[in-house]
Structure 1
């Protein structure tokens, strides 16, 4: 039996709650530091990771957005959020769990939720690192954007996918 399919390796997906925030914020910063290293320089990663310090924003995410988490051995290995029924705000997967279909499973559940809520499309502001994933899911780029975080410029992409 392949160890990835054994019962002790089973990933579960559930709705996120406030108690998940410390782990989500840690996963956010670790993923930016490791997975995004080839696409953003150190100064950019530091600026981007500073978003984890905004406790008010993270509380708003958990209270106002539809949040899904992927859990393995009682540890969050990924999460995705849906804001305003049609905007993917956050999608982050632990560096040790990339390429295991976790992002695809989270994304599919988020897309299903958007369709259930009668959304006509999904939008996201996507990093250079995540752009190929979103393209594979049927998103197309509306425009490249230059965003400023703590006076540091980062490139991302406004992307959209028609659902209906």
Structure 2
């Protein structure tokens, strides 16, 4: 995969050395951003600490995973997509929200993973972002982690 530049940020493929940074970014972002739409119990189940580093890394390696990095190499966000167009995760550091990094990651994955459709289970928090990028809600969904239920939305973008 080629490295893709987008303004002051560079989009590049995930590397094994990115595991700890992406895991920490995910957990911190859920605790800082998604807390506006989910209960503390839901947040804790969703971004449970600690997550096995091996399991985290393997889950990212199972998909096409891209990271957004600044000039110093600091990871600002990441996203991963399965071969069938399923966008599993798209997270931007709570310090770098609304600066175009999520859009750049989504665009890079759509260019890299050819699919007749792209789909995701979007959180309440992410719903407006995906709608702005051409995704439509197919149906509300209830996801379960352990015994904790979460509202999210199955969304699709036809190519």
List structure 1 runs of 4+ shifted beyond 4 angstroms: none
* TM-score w.r.t. length of structure 2: 0.89
Q: Deviations over 1:105-152 (max 9, x none)?
A: 1111111123xx3x1000101100001000001101111111111211
* TM-score w.r.t. length of structure 1: 0.87
Q: Provide the aligned C-alpha RMSD in A.
A: 1.6
SS in 1 for 2:130: helix
Counterparts in 2 of 1:1-150, with a 5 A limit? 10-50=8-48, 53-72=51-70, 73-114=72-113, 117=114, 119-150=115-146
CA distance in structure 1 between the aligned counterparts of 2:155 and 2:118, rounded to whole angstroms: 8
CA distance in structure 1 between the aligned counterparts of 2:14 and 2:116, rounded to whole angstroms: 24
Flag the structure with larger Rg: 1
The answer as to whether partners of 1:126 and 1:159 remain within 8 angstroms in 2 is yes
TM-superposed deviation, 1:12: 1.4
TM-superposed deviation, 1:10: 2.7
Count, aligned residues = 152
CA distance in structure 2 between the aligned counterparts of 1:90 and 1:153, rounded to whole angstroms: 18
CA distance in structure 2 between the aligned counterparts of 1:50 and 1:67, rounded to whole angstroms: 21
TM-superposed deviation, 1:54: 4.2
Segments of structure 2 that go 5 or more residues without pairing to the other structure are: 1-6
Segments of structure 1 that go 5 or more residues without pairing to the other structure are: 1-8
CA distance in structure 2 between the aligned counterparts of 1:142 and 1:52, rounded to whole angstroms: 33
